[in-house]
């Protein structure tokens, strides 16, 4: 959080604010947070009630309550700098009337030394499903005295500034889930190699046959390869999008900057939510490999599953990411950005068709990419029609179908590189490259057909979720 806070101040702060806060935030001498959420204004940030009143010296007195504040209070750093969304008294309702303020836990003197305690206090610590090492706090501003904040950027541009941090945080959330999934998968592989249980299936009738490591059992191998396929593809996807974001910042021309920025912006909701959901599923499947032992606290996979779940909620829940993708992203530049994205997939398909042994799976990815284009057009049109609610009821399945197609693309891309490297590779390297090819074959031949079914369901546009009466959701 500290680096995100520092980045916002670096981009939008005054020279004095940059000098006062940035270095100590980036060095972790001071901590940082992000105060958005209120009990009656969760994802609907525009409904917040925290207020700011301007003082004669140019500072502001803030009053309100925030919840779910990660690292809102602790003694691991000398000071904590809170970026706080609030509405200046008299400004318009909704997100357009929101401003952003720097609220330090301890006031900072002109010479950089810490002064008195500001009146922003932790009023409670929320007990969570996981991530118990991170305090998630309720925060009260101005409850017992004056809470002073300093405007960051311009008035009524709080959401614009905050989204600088939010987009970075969404990428970080995807990375967090990827690391949980990757760690869980590697633990599961190691356990499967060491855990001796059951005879090999070919000797199942021979009770005198020795037991074997569970990695020899077909379903365990399937499960491990399922996990591996997602971990490999998710890692490549994250790297791909990180490179695009970097190229956007370092571009030599406006055309190059815009091309990379648009792809980065369109795919950010998928990096955030798809990696979060699949990362958590990988953790769950790792527990399955461990069996009953994995459900105990003796093994880390149990903790990783609990800790990873928050990533599907951080920085906007799954449904919010899906709405962003459908309402704002796939229609960018009248669909040109989405078409450029599909063209990149087809470019990899063309390379794979020229590679030894990849023609079949290349054809399957080509079919999926073409079908995704048709479904995007279908759901996009429906979102602009009187049946727009039906479209949004299928927005999340569309995000997952798009994510699946990206996974297949990334694995095909990896396989193309592996084929090139395989010829003349050393024995250890050859096993890695062969593993890449088999991983692509597995996902494209076993997971991608399910994705095509998801796309068929989106096209069918079942409206049952909207048509069921509210009372019909009751149970027995």
Residue 419: which domain range? 344-471
Both tokens of 275, joined, read 């990696």
- For residue 146, being part of any structural domain is answered with yes
Q: Tell me, yes or no, whether 224 and 309 share the same domain.
A: yes
- Name 51's bridge partners: 63, 87
Q: For the domain that residue 16 is a member of, what is the CATH number?
A: 2.40.110.20
Q: Tell me, yes or no, whether 262 and 183 share the same domain.
A: yes
Cite the active site residues: 315
State residue 251 phi and psi, 5-degree precision. Answer: -60, 145
- For residue 464, being part of any structural domain is answered with yes
Q: Is 122 helix (H, G, I), strand (E, B) or coil?
A: strand
- For residue 325, being part of any structural domain is answered with no
What are the helix (H) ranges across 198-299? 218-250, 254-290
Give DSSP secondary structure letters for 14-52. Answer: -HHHIIIIIHHHHTTSEEE--B--BTTBSS-GGG---EE
Q: What pLDDT score does 1 carry?
A: 62
Residue 135 CB contacts under 8 Å (≥ 6 apart), including other chains: 70, 71, 72, 73, 74, 122, 125
Q: Tell me, yes or no, whether 376 and 267 share the same domain.
A: no
All residue ranges of the chain with pLDDT < 70 are 1-2, 42
User: Can you give the length of the chain in residues?
Assistant: 476
Q: Tell me, yes or no, whether 25 and 96 share the same domain.
A: yes
- For residue 167, being part of any structural domain is answered with yes
Q: Tell me, yes or no, whether 381 and 259 share the same domain.
A: no
- For residue 328, being part of any structural domain is answered with no
Residue with tokens 């815009």: 258
Q: Tell me, yes or no, whether 20 and 89 share the same domain.
A: yes
Q: Tell me, yes or no, whether 180 and 289 share the same domain.
A: yes
Q: Tell me, yes or no, whether 382 and 283 share the same domain.
A: no
Task: Give the end of a domain, one of 156, 180, 201.
Answer: 156
Task: Give the end of a domain, one of 128, 156, 184.
Answer: 156
7, containing H or E segment? helix 2-12
Residue with tokens 């798809």: 274
Q: Tell me, yes or no, whether 366 and 404 share the same domain.
A: yes
Task: Give the number of domains in the chain.
Answer: 3
234: closest CA among 167, 177, 283? 177
Q: What pLDDT score does 160 carry?
A: 87
Q: For the domain that residue 178 is a member of, what is the CATH number?
A: 1.20.140.10
Q: What pLDDT score does 144 carry?
A: 87
Q: Tell me, yes or no, whether 142 and 181 share the same domain.
A: no
Q: List pLDDT tens digits, range 106-156.
A: 999 988 899 999 999 999 999 999 999 888 999 999 998 899 999 999 999
Q: Tell me, yes or no, whether 123 and 181 share the same domain.
A: no
- In terms of phi and psi (left: phi > 0; alpha: psi -120 to 50; beta: otherwise), the region of 102 is beta
- For residue 140, being part of any structural domain is answered with yes
Task: Give the end of a domain, one of 95, 130, 156.
Answer: 156
Cα 186 from Cα 336, distance rounded (Å) = 39
Q: Tell me, yes or no, whether 150 and 38 share the same domain.
A: yes
Which whole-number Å values give the CA distances from 253 to 164, 179, 260, 263, 340, in the listed order?
A: 22, 34, 11, 16, 18
- For residue 407, being part of any structural domain is answered with yes
Q: What pLDDT score does 168 carry?
A: 83
- For residue 108, being part of any structural domain is answered with yes
State residue 55 phi and psi, 5-degree precision. Answer: -100, 160
């Amino acid at each position: 959080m500290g680096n995100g806070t520092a980045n916002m101040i670096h981009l939008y702060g005054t020279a004095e604010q940059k000098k006062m806060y940035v270095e100590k935030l980036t060095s972790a001498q001071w901590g940082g947070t992000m105060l958005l959420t209120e009990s009656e204004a969760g994802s609907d940030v525009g409904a917040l009630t925290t207020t700011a009143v301007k003082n004669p010296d140019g500072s502001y007195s803030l009053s309100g309550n925030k919840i779910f504040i990660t690292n809102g209070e602790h003694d691991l750093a000398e000071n904590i700098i809170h970026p706080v969304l609030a509405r200046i008294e008299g400004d318009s309702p909704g997100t357009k009337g929101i401003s952003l303020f720097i609220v330090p836990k301890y006031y900072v003197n002109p010479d950089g030394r810490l002064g008195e305690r500001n009146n922003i206090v932790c009023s409670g610590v929320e007990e969570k499903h996981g991530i118990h090492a991170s305090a998630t706090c309720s925060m009260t501003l101005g409850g017992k005295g004056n809470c002073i904040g300093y405007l960051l950027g311009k008035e009524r541009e709080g959401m614009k500034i905050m989204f600088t941090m939010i987009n970075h945080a969404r990428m970080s959330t995807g990375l967090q889930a990827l690391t949980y999934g990757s760690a869980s998968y590697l633990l599961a592989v190691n356990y499967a190699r060491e855990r001796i249980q059951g005879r090999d299936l070919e000797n199942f009738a021979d009770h005198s046959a020795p037991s074997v490591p569970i990695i020899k059992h077909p379903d365990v191998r399937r499960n491990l390869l399922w996990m591996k396929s997602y971990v490999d593809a998710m890692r490549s996807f994250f790297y791909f999008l990180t490179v695009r974001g970097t190229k956007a910042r370092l571009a030599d021309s406006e055309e190059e900057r815009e091309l990379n920025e648009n792809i980065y912006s369109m795919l950010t909701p998928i990096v955030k939510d798809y990696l979060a959901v699949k990362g958590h599923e990988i953790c769950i499947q790792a527990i399955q490999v461990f069996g009953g032992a994995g459900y105990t606290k003796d093994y880390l996979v149990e903790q990783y599953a609990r800790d990873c779940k928050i990533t599907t909620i951080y920085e906007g829940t799954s449904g919010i990411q899906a709405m962003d993708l459908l309402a704002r992203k796939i229609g960018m530049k009248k669909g040109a950005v989405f078409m450029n994205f599909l063209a990149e997939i087809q470019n990899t398909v063309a390379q794979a068709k020229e590679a030894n042994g990849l023609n079949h799976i290349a054809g399957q990815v080509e079919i999926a990419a073409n079908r995704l284009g048709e479904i995007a057009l279908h759901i996009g049109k429906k979102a602009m029609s009187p049946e727009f609610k039906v479209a949004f009821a299928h927005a999340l399945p569309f995000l997952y179908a798009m994510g699946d197609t990206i996974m297949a693309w990334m694995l095909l891309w990896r396989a193309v590189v592996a084929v090139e490297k395989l010829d003349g590779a050393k024995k250890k390297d050859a096993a890695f490259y062969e593993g890449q090819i088999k991983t692509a074959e597995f996902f494209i031949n076993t997971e991608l057909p399910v994705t095509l079914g998801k796309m068929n369901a989106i096209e069918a546009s079942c409206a049952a979720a909207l048509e069921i009466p509210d009372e019909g959701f009751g149970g027995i």
